[in-house]
Amino acid sequence: MTGLTVPAWAQPVSAAAEEAKAPPLPPLGSVLEVPRIELMGGGVFDPAAAQGKPLLVYWWASTCPFCAQQSPVMDRFWREHREQGLAMVALSIDRKPEDAAAYLKAKGYTFPAAWASPQWRQSFPKPRGLPITLLRGRDGKLAVAEKGQMFPEDVEELARYL
């Protein structure tokens, strides 16, 4: 699986400084615990409801050109596989939740999405890069950790963990 990230020089100074402090991807095999978070479309991502299910965590932003290409693929993957027990939460790092919500509505995405506020990210820091795709297996351990844009065929390969 191959990916690209937005270079630091192409990001606003504050975003580049924040990105430089971001942690690396969590190691494969580590336990991945995602805190409870309110979803933008209503409802809540409840980590207890995702126990024992494969969990797809997708970090994105409405201003990210690579996310703009990967998000429709992620939405299609969600629609095609949610009936197989897939749990998902797409975490926006937009500066304002209104920007993320407007983007989701304009694009018609249906995946469960939340705005990850700077305060919430203190409990679950975004790894360095964007987009970030993490897949936790049914055993609660990280099976996939990808930084940067994934090709559609690589996203579809995630189905082997369902």
> Superfamily for 31-161?
Glutaredoxin (3.40.30.10)
Q: Which segments within 28-106 are labelled E, that is strand?
A: 37-38, 44-45, 55-60, 87-92
As a whole number, the mean pLDDT across the chain is 90
Domain extents in the chain: 31-161
pLDDT for the residue numbered 12: 52
Let me know the angle formed at the C-alpha of 77 by 74 and 80, rounded to the nearest 5 degrees.
Answer: 150
Residue 62 token pair = 């409405």
Of 2-6, 23-27, 76-80, highest mean pLDDT: 76-80
List Cα–Cα distances, 144 to 49, 68, 120, in angstroms. 20, 21, 23
pLDDT for the residue numbered 4: 54
The residue whose two tokens read 């995946």 is: 111
The residue whose two tokens read 């998902």 is: 88
Mean pLDDT for 139-160 is: 97
- Condensed to tens digits (0 to 9), the pLDDT of residues 83-130 reads 999 999 999 999 999 999 999 999 999 999 999 998 899 889 888 889
